[in-house]
């Protein structure tokens, strides 16, 4: 390995072995020697990472009963807001300083525009979330939505990374003709659109994502051999790790060791899931790949861990994550509810059933705490990934009981390199498109030549 160039390591440094390529996180050794502490801090990467997460099918707090109980939007606007205990966001209150709640925005592009489109909300919504554009009703090859926010950013600022963007999901995307109302399944299968007629495939299997990040340089046969012999990917780069460690300072060695430990631990967990799922025991998700955990929480954690590794190694700066399907009948027993997700969402405006659905919403929302903590723990220079990342979390659906797209949930996490201060609840004026918020975010991300996005009518103050 030849990685020493002058007085510092190149930022794009890899440990390579047989069929393995491990990108490194940012290290002090990547900053030229002799700089002052202030200059060294300034030399750390400044690019903003962007993560977009769709929480499908709205929230219990976005119908009349839920809103009256403040199950999404807090009663108070501004910095001194209070979250009631039953508000799903209360599970994330430890990260209040990194949280910007935006309430009362509409996603009208997901509504039916003509009589034949009525009832097809499940098959439009996901395609609208990051495009804020109305999908063309078709089951042919002439699909048409819009270019999504994540892809607009990736085209501008993601081209210097090995993967300009990555797309992840939790639930099965192969509906085998199960998309109706004359909508192509392409609209429900992805939230990330490279062009108006090119949705990007999303990765469900943690093993596939792991191999993309760390095994892309080898063949399928080499990867299969590595799994068969149960050798860790780090075994293949052991010699280069030893050489690298010998030339790093103490803090860099600790940083490298933690990073490699995380890789090893994630790989171990994936192997355990695969072993369990191929043991012959009955699975809760019998049609899922062997690398997909039956446990929703474990699946979410693995996907979040992989995203953190991808961001801190600068393999990518742009991620889209779809956490479910609108019409899913999955049961989440850890939520305290035995009701399937989609039937529970159609609560019929019964207060008891709204609160039952809110249990599921709270459980699903609480998964974000793990991701936010992992991002905050990932140090980069004098800061951390959560400071340097914009996380857009929301839904193109508001009240799932009636498939309403008005007053949809939207929360921004992270500081986005100073773009957001956090700790605030911002309430939009009635009729404000969610696209206004997204337009403002894109302008603040460096796309200041953009004057419109989707059905935007202007910008939105994030102060």
Tens of pLDDT, residue by residue over 139-187, are 999 999 999 999 999 999 999 999 999 999 999 865 544 588 999 999 9
Count of beta carbons in the 10 Å neighbourhood of residue 82: 12
| Range 17-46 average pLDDT | 73
Decide if 358 contacts 60 (C-beta within 8 A).
Answer: yes
**CB-facing half-sphere around the CA of 195: CA atoms within 13 A:** 4
Lowest model confidence (mean pLDDT) among 93-102, 199-208, 247-256? 247-256
Domains and CATH numbers, the chain: 48-204+296-444 (3.40.720)
| Range 350-368 average pLDDT | 98
Decide if 460 contacts 428 (C-beta within 8 A).
Answer: yes
Lowest model confidence (mean pLDDT) among 195-199, 377-381, 431-435? 377-381
Tokens of 374: 């992992």
Give the residue from 96, 80, 119, 91 showing the smallest Cα distance to 358.
Answer: 91
Give the residue from 359, 285, 266, 378 showing the smallest Cα distance to 329.
Answer: 285
- Residue 314: pLDDT over 70: yes
What is the reported pLDDT for 240?
87
Q: Which helix (H) or strand (E) holds 262?
A: helix 250-277
Decide if 456 contacts 435 (C-beta within 8 A).
Answer: yes
Rounded CA separation 131/146 (Å)? 5
Rounded CA separation 374/394 (Å)? 20
Q: Which helix (H) or strand (E) holds 64?
A: helix 64-68
> Alpha-carbon torsion 172, 174, 175, 180, what sign?
positive
Decide if 308 contacts 385 (C-beta within 8 A).
Answer: yes
Tokens of 259: 């990073």
3-state DSSP assignment of residue 53: strand
- Strands 49-54 vs 389-394: parallel, antiparallel or unpaired: parallel
pLDDT in tens, 43-81: 566 799 999 999 999 999 999 999 999 999 999 999 999
3-state DSSP assignment of residue 121: helix
Confidence of residue 279 (pLDDT cuts 50, 70, 90): very high
Rounded CA separation 379/27 (Å)? 10
What is the reported pLDDT for 114?
97
119: region left, alpha or beta (phi > 0 left; psi from -120 to 50 alpha): left
What percent of the chain is modeled with pLDDT above 90?
80
Tokens of 328: 């899913």
Count of beta carbons in the 10 Å neighbourhood of residue 167: 22
Rounded CA separation 110/397 (Å)? 8
- Residue 1: pLDDT over 90: no
CA separation, residue 158 to residues 155, 161, 317 (Å): 6, 6, 6
Runs of H (alpha helix) within 290-367 = 296-312, 341-345, 351-366
Confidence of residue 450 (pLDDT cuts 50, 70, 90): very high
What is the reported pLDDT for 46?
76
Rounded CA separation 40/31 (Å)? 6
Confidence of residue 346 (pLDDT cuts 50, 70, 90): very high
Rounded CA separation 411/423 (Å)? 11
Rounded CA separation 24/260 (Å)? 9
Q: pLDDT: is 386 or 240 the higher one?
A: 386
What percent of the chain is modeled with pLDDT above 70?
90
Q: Over the chain, what is the mean pLDDT?
A: 91
What is the reported pLDDT for 44?
61
Please give the DSSP secondary-structure letter assigned to residue 403. Answer: T
Tokens of 300: 């979410």
Runs of H (alpha helix) within 105-219 = 125-129, 149-157, 186-189, 206-214
pTM of the model: 0.94
- Residue 40: pLDDT over 60: no
What is the reported pLDDT for 38?
59
| Range 69-96 average pLDDT | 98
CB neighbour list of residue 399: distance below 8 Å, 6 or more residues apart? 58, 62, 63, 64, 66
Lowest model confidence (mean pLDDT) among 27-41, 90-104, 437-451? 27-41
> Alpha-carbon torsion 230, 236, 237, 239, what sign?
positive
| Range 306-323 average pLDDT | 97
Q: pLDDT: is 421 or 233 the higher one?
A: 421
Lowest model confidence (mean pLDDT) among 79-83, 211-215, 327-331? 211-215
What is the reported pLDDT for 112?
97
What is the reported pLDDT for 228?
63
Give the residue from 169, 132, 186, 152 showing the smallest Cα distance to 55.
Answer: 169
- Residue 306: pLDDT over 80: yes
Give the largest Cα separation in the chain, rounded. Answer: 69
Confidence of residue 5 (pLDDT cuts 50, 70, 90): very low
């Amino acid at each position: 390995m030849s990685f020493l160039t002058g007085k510092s390591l190149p930022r794009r440094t890899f440990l390579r072995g047989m069929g393995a390529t491990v990108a490194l996180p940012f290290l002090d050794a990547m900053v030229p020697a002799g700089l002052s502490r202030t200059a060294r801090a300034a030399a750390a990467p400044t690019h903003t990472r962007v993560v977009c997460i769709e929480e499908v099918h709205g929230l219990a707090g976005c119908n009349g009963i839920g809103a009256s109980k403040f199950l999404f939007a807090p009663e108070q606007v501004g910095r001194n807001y209070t979250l009631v205990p039953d508000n799903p966001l209360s599970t994330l209150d430890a990260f209040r300083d990194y949280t910007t709640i935006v309430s009362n925005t509409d996603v009208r592009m997901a509504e039916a525009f003509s009589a034949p489109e009525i009832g097809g909300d499940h098959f439009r919504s996901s395609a609208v979330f990051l495009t804020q554009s109305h999908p063309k009703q078709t089951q042919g090859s002439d699909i048409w939505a819009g270019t999504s926010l994540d892809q607009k950013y990736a085209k501008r600022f993601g081209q210097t990374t090995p993967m300009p963007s990555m797309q992840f999901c939790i639930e099965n995307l192969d509906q085998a003709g199960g998309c109706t109302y004359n909508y192509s399944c392409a609209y429900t299968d992805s939230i990330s659109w490279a062009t108006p007629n090119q949705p990007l495939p999303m990765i469900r299997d943690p093993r596939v994502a792991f191999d993309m990040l760390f095994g892309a340089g080898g063949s399928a046969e080499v990867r299969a051999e590595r799994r068969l012999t149960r050798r860790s990917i780090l075994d293949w780069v052991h010699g280069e790790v030893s050489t690298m460690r010998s030339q790093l300072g103490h803090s860099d060695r600790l940083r490298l060791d933690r990073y490699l430990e995380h890789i090893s631990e994630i790989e171990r967990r994936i192997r355990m899931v695969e072993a369990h799922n191929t043991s012959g025991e009955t699975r809760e998700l019998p049609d899922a790949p062997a690398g997909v955990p039956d446990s929703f929480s474990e699946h979410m954690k693995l996907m979040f861990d992989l995203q953190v590794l991808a961001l801190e190694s600068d393999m990518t700066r742009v991620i889209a994550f779809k956490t479910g399907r609108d019409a899913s009948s999955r049961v989440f027993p850890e939520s305290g509810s035995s009701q399937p997700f989609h039937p529970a969402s159609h609560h019929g405006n019964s207060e008891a059933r709204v609160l039952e659905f809110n249990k599921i919403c709270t459980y699903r929302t609480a998964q974000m705490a793990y991701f936010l903590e992992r991002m905050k723990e990932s140090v980069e220079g004098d800061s951390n990934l959560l400071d340097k990342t914009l996380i857009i979390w929301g839904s193109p659906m508001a009240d799932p009981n009636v498939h309403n797209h008005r007053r949809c949930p939207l929360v921004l996490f992270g500081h986005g390199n100073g773009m957001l201060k956090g700790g605030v609840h911002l309430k939009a004026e009635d009729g404000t498109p969610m696209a206004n918020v997204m337009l403002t975010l894109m302008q603040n991300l460096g796309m200041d030549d953009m004057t419109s996005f989707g059905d935007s009518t202007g910008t939105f103050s994030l102060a």
